[in-house]
Structure 1
Amino acid sequence: MPGHVNMMDDVLISQLPPNILKSSLRVLLSQHTTAQKLFVEHVRGQLSASPPKYSSPSELFGETPCYAEFLASVRCLFSSRMASESLPYLSHFVASIPLARARWQLNEKLEVALEQACGDIVQAIQALKESRPDATRELQERLLDLRTAIDECESYSASNNLQFLFGRAQLQVDDALWLIFPDISLIHSRRHSSQVTSRMAIEPDLDRYAKLEHVQLGPLKVPRIFNGLWQLSSPAWGSASLYKQHRAFEQLGDAELVYGAFRNQLPPKISANIVACSKWCVFRAPERSVSPEYVLEAVTERSRRLGGRVELLQFHWYDYSAKDYLRILLELVKITKSHPHLVRAIGLCNFDSEHTEEACQYLLRETGQVGIVSNQIQYSLIDTRPTIKMEVVCEKYGIKMLTYGTFCGGFLSEKWLDAHAPDIYSEQAQLTPSQRKYFDMIHNWGSWKDLQALLRTLKQIASKHNVDLANVAARWVLDRPAVGAVIAGTRAGISNNSESNLKVFSIKLDEQDTLQINHYAVGANRAEMLYRKIGDCGHEYQ
């Protein structure tokens, strides 16, 4: 009966503490896609009927500031698919900073809030781009107003010796203008804050480089640890300013935009040796026919966002029954020959074994060469599905696996040794989106008790080799057939495990170590069980 809520449920909802109510809602939405759709539609209706109020600059940043509450209301807008409607609020917020003569210092409350606001702009713009909006005059004005507000905040920051905190937002707004309004007059190559640029005069750490193992991916010689930047895609992993992210990159190595901005500020002798890999993910049927021009435009766009050549472009396809992906792969391989200044090598992303082989056979027939150098897939001590078929296919065609999830979202670390299982829907647990994902993988693989037994074994082996627990987990994957490199998730400017990750190259697992680990990783037919439950590598993304 529409409109009816069980009386006792209604009492429960009205009396529950907010933290339990939020946790309960997350459980409901995670289990029912219909409920998620109704939830968002209801929120949108409420916000449309009663939009958030604008607070004045003095209210936002005065003696009793309300910027936290204001930003919370703006997040509700863009998170409920009202990205365009959120832009005037974001412009107002940024424009209010110089009007209120706001000031901040490193790591104080206001600086953290402004970094989060920058992340909010990134999220809102990304949501806007993904919605494929019409290029209306109203939207153009909203984006330009936001751009102007950010520029004025940059000038205010520079003149008052304050760290400019909206560099990443600048990149995103410019990118949206470029994509949606390519004909407007706009500076196509962003200038960046002098506060960032002045710190890019760094020297290569040759001792660090010498510690790395390398692998050949077609024409590329690359380190066997990649810094994965998926975590830059959303503030849900935490927010940091562009300055802090660039400082982190000095040690480590939007992700395309942020990384492109960093690479183009490096001295030529360093930037020329950086291996920049990106993805082209097609999640739905293309809106135009697949042609050589269509594929070249996609490659050119990724090169633009990275600010230079893409060393490895990894391709993901939404539906294997739509065979256009074979034609696209053929064109991508051709472009590596005709436009080597744009892209050097082509890989796959989350392809299963059957269609990896199909693509290889197709390219062999058409060109006489495989042309594909890698497949980015999930592989860890918890998810050993690649041992069923993928290893054989990759070895047959000379493809290397680039593995993500190797640390299982951080669960394969000492932090979780002897820890209680977290409530993944509770805010108190402070889990990242990737940890929620990998927690589910753990329970497909076994139990929390099983994980603790594995962690104790890894800790014992790590102590024996004088390394960290996570190094042992990564070393086991690196030693598997056809594995080229592991991808270590990087929350640039927020956390840094680069020194620990390098220890993986200092250890060699002996036969006893491997047998102990195999008991948990592939023993008791765990790989076959996961394969039956979830499907082959990448099936969860189809």
Structure 2
Amino acid sequence: MELRKLGVDGPMVSRLALGCMTFGKEADEDAAFAILDAFVEAGGTLIDNADVYVDGRSEEILGRWLRNRPQQREGLVIASKGRFPVTGQPGAGLSRDYLHRALDASLRRLGVERIDIYQAHGPDPRVPLEEFAAFAAEATAAGKVAHIGVSNFAGWETALVHSQALRAGGPAPVSLQPQYSLLVREPEWEQLPATRALGMGTMVWGPLGAGWLTGKYRRDTDAPEGSRLGDDPNRGLEAFSRRGSDRTWRIIETLADVAAQHDLTSTHAALAWVTDRPGVTAALVGARTADQLRDCLQAADLHLDPAAVQVLDKVSEPPTPDYPYTFLTEISVWS
């Protein structure tokens, strides 16, 4: 699998990364082990977790897999995140004290001495970003963390934490983890330009739109039984009530046409599109089964031709607010 450098100062990581949110819930331990084995066999290196995934159980499962496969650890980049409530970890947030406790708990669950990329899972308006920067400097100095990252931060927050980290005498964050796909292109307005300007990489989540871009959902048809929305039509950001717009269906139908013209599936075409976007280092894919993951991994070295990219770019272009984005684009060419 193709490897890419995560920003200027980050590690080399696989173009497709494995997200572990299904472990311990939609994928039991045996299924999770099979998924991890399939990922490594395909040449994948970046594995992303979080303490909040199934209340810590996902990290525990990954930890047991690592102990059972000690020969694999050296070639892997293990990422995790802290910020949100986990049972037995009071005081959730980005305070310095809480993150030190959360990091130690993640290290115990994973059974490792160091996490390769430790990320703030989201902003915390109650705590100045200087606290996260101080934590980052201390955690890396202690050898518990190799690199720092942020997830779900706005562009200005990413820039601010980057400057605060350098001011604190620690390493700057190497990555941002935003949601990004054909259905969610708004990160192009602020988040992706910020990371590119700062020399950071990105590991994007939701590249298949939580299943919407796989072709499993059809306009004016109920979600199939056993799918995420078939189990829960009102599930989070991907709920039918939030995402089932005419724009979404146009994107899905155009994606299916482009995929068919190139003898691909919608899944493969969507992953190829997102992994070649400017500023994207890796795309996180999750799975309930090893076979489901293997299907996604068929897109690991796939690149769409420029004509196909242009068609998908056009149909997925989000409505851009006149101010500031359209206005700033217009005046940028004035001379």
Q: Is the TM-score greater than 0.5?
A: yes
Higher normalized contact order (CA 8 Å, seq sep 6+, divided by chain length): 2
Identify the residue that residue 223 of structure 1 maps to in structure 2. 14
Three-state SS of the structure 2 residue aligned to 1:481 is: coil
**Structure 2 vs 1, CA of residues 213 and 498 (structure 1 numbering), >3 Å: closer, same or farther?**
farther
How does 1:98-113 map onto structure 2 within 5 Å?
none
For 2:11, the aligned partner's letter is L
**Structure 2 vs 1, CA of residues 351 and 257 (structure 1 numbering), >3 Å: closer, same or farther?**
same
In structure 2, how many angstroms separate the alpha carbons of the residues matched to 1:428 and 1:476? 23
Q: Residue 515 of structure 1: CA displacement?
A: 1.7
How does 1:134-533 map onto structure 2 within 5 Å?
211-217=1-7, 218-232=9-23, 235=25, 238=26, 240=28, 242-253=29-40, 254-266=57-69, 268-282=70-84, 286=91, 290=95, 295-308=99-112, 309-317=114-122, 319-323=124-128, 325-339=129-143, 342-367=144-169, 371-416=172-217, 418=218, 420-422=220-222, 431-432=230-231, 436-440=235-239, 447=245, 449-491=246-288, 494=289, 496-522=291-317, 525-526=318-319, 528=321
Q: Residue 349 of structure 1: CA displacement?
A: 1.4
TM-score (norm 1): 0.50
**Structure 2 vs 1, CA of residues 505 and 230 (structure 1 numbering), >3 Å: closer, same or farther?**
closer
In structure 1, how many angstroms separate the alpha carbons of the residues matched to 2:141 and 2:202? 23
TM-score (norm 2): 0.78
Q: Residue 370 of structure 1: CA displacement?
A: 5.5
Q: Tell me if structure 2 keeps the 8 A contact 1:388–1:528.
A: no
How does 1:5-24 map onto structure 2 within 5 Å?
none
In structure 2, how many angstroms separate the alpha carbons of the residues matched to 1:364 and 1:503? 39
In structure 2, how many angstroms separate the alpha carbons of the residues matched to 1:427 and 1:222? 32
- Number of matched pairs: 303
Q: Tell me if structure 1 keeps the 8 A contact 2:5–2:12.
A: yes
Q: Tell me if structure 2 keeps the 8 A contact 1:387–1:527.
A: no
- Any stretches of 5+ residues in structure 1 without a counterpart? 1-210, 533-542
In structure 1, how many angstroms separate the alpha carbons of the residues matched to 2:264 and 2:227? 30
In structure 1, how many angstroms separate the alpha carbons of the residues matched to 2:81 and 2:254? 36
In structure 1, how many angstroms separate the alpha carbons of the residues matched to 2:94 and 2:172? 23
Once the two structures are superposed, residues 280-316 of structure 1 have per-residue CA deviations (whole angstroms, 9 ceiling, x without a partner) of 124599389955x654433222111111131111113
Q: Residue 506 of structure 1: CA displacement?
A: 3.5
**Structure 2 vs 1, CA of residues 359 and 499 (structure 1 numbering), >3 Å: closer, same or farther?**
same
In structure 1, how many angstroms separate the alpha carbons of the residues matched to 2:314 and 2:215? 20
**Structure 2 vs 1, CA of residues 489 and 415 (structure 1 numbering), >3 Å: closer, same or farther?**
same
For 2:282, the aligned partner's letter is A
Q: Residue 372 of structure 1: CA displacement?
A: 0.1
Q: Residue 250 of structure 1: CA displacement?
A: 1.4
Once the two structures are superposed, residues 139-172 of structure 1 have per-residue CA deviations (whole angstroms, 9 ceiling, x without a partner) of xxxxxxxxxxxxxxxxxxxxxxxxxxxxxxxxxx
Identify the residue that residue 56 of structure 1 maps to in structure 2. none
In structure 2, how many angstroms separate the alpha carbons of the residues matched to 1:503 and 1:303? 32
For 1:483, the aligned partner's letter is V
For 2:197, the aligned partner's letter is K
Q: Residue 219 of structure 1: CA displacement?
A: 3.9
In structure 2, how many angstroms separate the alpha carbons of the residues matched to 1:444 and 1:528? 19
Q: Tell me if structure 2 keeps the 8 A contact 1:295–1:332.
A: no
In structure 2, how many angstroms separate the alpha carbons of the residues matched to 1:457 and 1:289? 41
Three-state SS of the structure 1 residue aligned to 2:168 is: helix
In structure 1, how many angstroms separate the alpha carbons of the residues matched to 2:320 and 2:268? 22
For 1:410, the aligned partner's letter is G
Q: Residue 430 of structure 1: CA displacement?
A: 5.9
Three-state SS of the structure 2 residue aligned to 1:259 is: helix
Q: Tell me if structure 2 keeps the 8 A contact 1:383–1:445.
A: no
Report which of the two has the higher share of helix: 1
Q: Tell me if structure 1 keeps the 8 A contact 2:183–2:316.
A: yes
Once the two structures are superposed, residues 79-104 of structure 1 have per-residue CA deviations (whole angstroms, 9 ceiling, x without a partner) of xxxxxxxxxxxxxxxxxxxxxxxxxx
In structure 2, how many angstroms separate the alpha carbons of the residues matched to 1:468 and 1:423? 19
Q: Tell me if structure 2 keeps the 8 A contact 1:350–1:377.
A: yes
**Structure 2 vs 1, CA of residues 337 and 355 (structure 1 numbering), >3 Å: closer, same or farther?**
same
Once the two structures are superposed, residues 17-37 of structure 1 have per-residue CA deviations (whole angstroms, 9 ceiling, x without a partner) of xxxxxxxxxxxxxxxxxxxxx
In structure 1, how many angstroms separate the alpha carbons of the residues matched to 2:228 and 2:177? 29
Identify the residue that residue 52 of structure 2 maps to in structure 1. none
Q: Residue 380 of structure 1: CA displacement?
A: 0.9
Question: Percent identical across equivalent pairs?
Answer: 20
In structure 1, how many angstroms separate the alpha carbons of the residues matched to 2:21 and 2:233? 10
How does 1:24-63 map onto structure 2 within 5 Å?
none
Once the two structures are superposed, residues 40-74 of structure 1 have per-residue CA deviations (whole angstroms, 9 ceiling, x without a partner) of xxxxxxxxxxxxxxxxxxxxxxxxxxxxxxxxxxx
Three-state SS of the structure 1 residue aligned to 2:183 is: coil
Q: Residue 319 of structure 1: CA displacement?
A: 2.9
